[in-house]
Amino acid sequence: NSEDVRCKCICPPYKDHSGHIYNKNVSQKDCDCLHVVEPMPVPGPDVEAYCLRCECKYEERSSVTIKVNNVILLV
């Protein structure tokens, strides 16, 4: 399920650009700044420096397990 996986990139402030959190449903191998950060807030020469500051994490969850736990909790 595409809703159960995501890549989350946390990018701190860089020069005159404020910090931002980016989320995108991508595969684990594509979980990096170049695939997730869209639109790129900095011009071409600064992209590498900007991306080196970003921390990207691949996250998975099981929505079925979450739903089952919620039903059990409510019962």
Assign 31 a pLDDT band (cuts: 50, 70, 90).
Answer: very high
**Structural domain spans, the chain:** 3-71
Segment 29-40 shows an average pLDDT of 95
pTM equals 0.75
Q: Which residues pair with 6 in a beta bridge?
A: 59
Q: Which residues pair with 14 in a beta bridge?
A: 17
User: Which of 59, 30, 35, 31 is CA-nearest to residue 47?
Assistant: 35
User: How far is the C-alpha of 75 from the C-alpha of 69, rounded, in Å?
Assistant: 10
Segment 48-53 shows an average pLDDT of 95
Comparing 4 with 56, which gets the higher pLDDT?
56
